[in-house]
Amino acid sequence: MTRNRATPKPMVVRGAVATLAVAALAVAGATPAAAHQPAERPTGDLAGGLHTDQYITGQFAGDQSAADGQVDQSVLTALERDLDLSADEVEQLLTDLEGVDELAAELAEELGQAYGGSWFDHETGSFTVAVTEAGPAAALASAEVTTERVGHSLQRLESITAELDELLEADPAALADVYSWRIEVADNQVVVTTAAGQADAVSGLVADYGDAVRVTESSYAPQVAQSALHGGTAYNGCSVGFNLVAGGTGYFLTAGHCGGTGQQTSQNGVNIGPFVESWFPGEDDALVRVDNAGAWTQGPTVWTYSGTVTINGWTDAAVGTPICTSGRTTGLTCGVITAKNETVNYAEGAVFGMTRHNACVEPGDSGGPNWNTVGGNYAEGVTSGAQMIGGQCLERFGMANVSWYYPISDSLPYYAGGWGVSLMTG
């Protein structure tokens, strides 16, 4: 049972630039914890909805290399490498995507049940909105977007994924051979991915949905991106996500499967503090309190393995948006968002509401930061897992990566409600 199954609206939250420079918290360390099934997690107090000034603080500026909406050169270089684009093409892509999240949210609200989803097409550089009726399609002609008529509304597709989620919770054995399900907005379908050889069996379960559901197979089961703990390895082999603060107390956001509530964390024998709350499966996030402030300093920065970039706020970006992620195993890698609100059925239990992308993620990267690179550096979520072969991402075998992060659009409102934390921004 999840704490909050509602799909957040796409949005942008931006933080003001401040002047106090504080080093980033670049830590990892704790003892391993087995996967645990949480009690029902209550919904965070959204106080009437998400607002652009909620859950952030600009009092920490950190390294200003990526402040003021500027994307750090190391991130631009990684985007060029991982998206196979020239420097000019990356610049054009980021320019084309300015304002897309806000537009998507506005159109979803205006179109209501006629809204079929939206996505950014990298080939054409266009933003496409799917609609189920001719009238709204004509009305969008002045919105400078491409429209596509579809047979199923996004609300209908979301209701199907919700029913599959409920079936999984009620009868896990019925979906034991199913790896994940997600909405592919460009195909106007729910895509159910099964273990190899199981598509026919699962097709019978979803036959009543008709062409709204497509069943595919994969030879690669999803795995959490957590490495084994050996002597000297740090923080369960996981990575720190984003730095948070409540009053004068520092925290950081990371993956829930990295440790259980009450478990202590440390790096190289130096204590950091405990997991004060942790959720996995169902969700995959956790809050760690930094008790040893004398040994660890925090700021609104993430380490890219060549320097730091400053986090300017947080988003819940649209499909097609470029994102980058940083972790102790793969360093800095980049990709694009390929699906939203996906249910991933790990061996340890299902996680709901995940964002899928195609950056490389490997064991040890769990809990690390994922951020939107359009117009700056905006927190998106913490790394959960990926499809891997022998602990390596699929690109190393000539295939497209399949990776997931747990969205900060769910985590931050929840922990703000319970612990009063806000995201450190610069």
**Per-residue pLDDT reduced to its tens digit, 240-283:** 999 999 999 999 999 999 999 999 988 777 788 999 999 999 99
**206 domain-assigned:** no
Could you give the number of structural domains in the chain?
A: 1
The predicted pLDDT at position 63 comes to: 37
pLDDT > 90 fraction of the chain, expressed in percent and rounded: 66
Average pLDDT over residues 381-395: 97
**174 domain-assigned:** no
pLDDT higher at 118 or 16: 118
Question: What is the secondary structure of 207-225 as a DSSP string?
Answer: GGGGGGEEEEEESS-EEE-
**Catalytic residue check, 366:** yes
pLDDT above 50 (res 230): no
d(CA 37, CA 300): 31
pLDDT higher at 309 or 6: 309
Task: Write the CA distances from 231 to 228, 234, 246, 267, 316, integer angstroms.
Answer: 10, 9, 33, 11, 38
The angle formed by the CA atoms of residues 174, 177 and 180, to the nearest 5 degrees, is: 100
The predicted pLDDT at position 162 comes to: 97
pLDDT above 60 (res 233): no
125-129, 350-354, 407-411: segment of lowest average pLDDT: 125-129
d(CA 178, CA 190): 13
Walk across the sheet containing 242-246 and list its strands: 56-57, 422-424, 242-246, 249-254, 285-290, 270-279, 264-267
Residue 222's DSSP bridge partners are: 387
Residue 287's DSSP bridge partners are: 253, 277
59-63, 215-219, 253-257, 334-338: segment of lowest average pLDDT: 59-63
Please tell me which residue in 101, 152, 153, 257 is annotated as part of the active site.
Answer: 257
**160 domain-assigned:** no
Average pLDDT over residues 371-390: 96
**203 domain-assigned:** no
What residues make up the domain containing 345? 1-99+221-426
pLDDT above 80 (res 138): no
**305 domain-assigned:** yes
pLDDT band at 296 (very low <50, low <70, confident <90, very high): confident
Query: Which has the closest alpha carbon to 79: 377, 366, 324?
Result: 324
Please tell me which residue in 118, 227, 278, 366 is annotated as part of the active site.
Answer: 366
Average pLDDT over residues 391-411: 98
**Catalytic residue check, 410:** no
> Are the C-beta atoms of residues 87 and 80 closer than 8 Å to each other?
yes
205-214, 302-311, 357-366, 376-385: segment of lowest average pLDDT: 302-311
The amino acid sitting at 350 is A
pLDDT band at 123 (very low <50, low <70, confident <90, very high): confident
In Å, the largest CA–CA distance within the chain is 64
**Catalytic residue check, 86:** no
pLDDT band at 69 (very low <50, low <70, confident <90, very high): low
**301 domain-assigned:** yes
Most trustworthy range by pLDDT among 105-119, 136-150, 234-248, 368-382:
368-382
> Are the C-beta atoms of residues 212 and 152 closer than 8 Å to each other?
yes
The overall average pLDDT reported for the chain is 83
The predicted pLDDT at position 247 comes to: 94
pLDDT band at 44 (very low <50, low <70, confident <90, very high): very low
User: Phi and psi at residue 208, in whole multiples of 5°?
Assistant: -65, -15
Task: Write the CA distances from 214 to 184, 203, 208, integer angstroms.
Answer: 10, 8, 12
60-64, 272-276, 399-403, 404-408: segment of lowest average pLDDT: 60-64
**320 domain-assigned:** yes
**104 domain-assigned:** no
d(CA 384, CA 254): 9
The predicted pLDDT at position 58 comes to: 59
CA dihedral for 408, 410, 411, 417, sign (positive or negative)? positive
The predicted pLDDT at position 136 comes to: 73
Please tell me which residue in 72, 284, 365, 410 is annotated as part of the active site.
Answer: 284
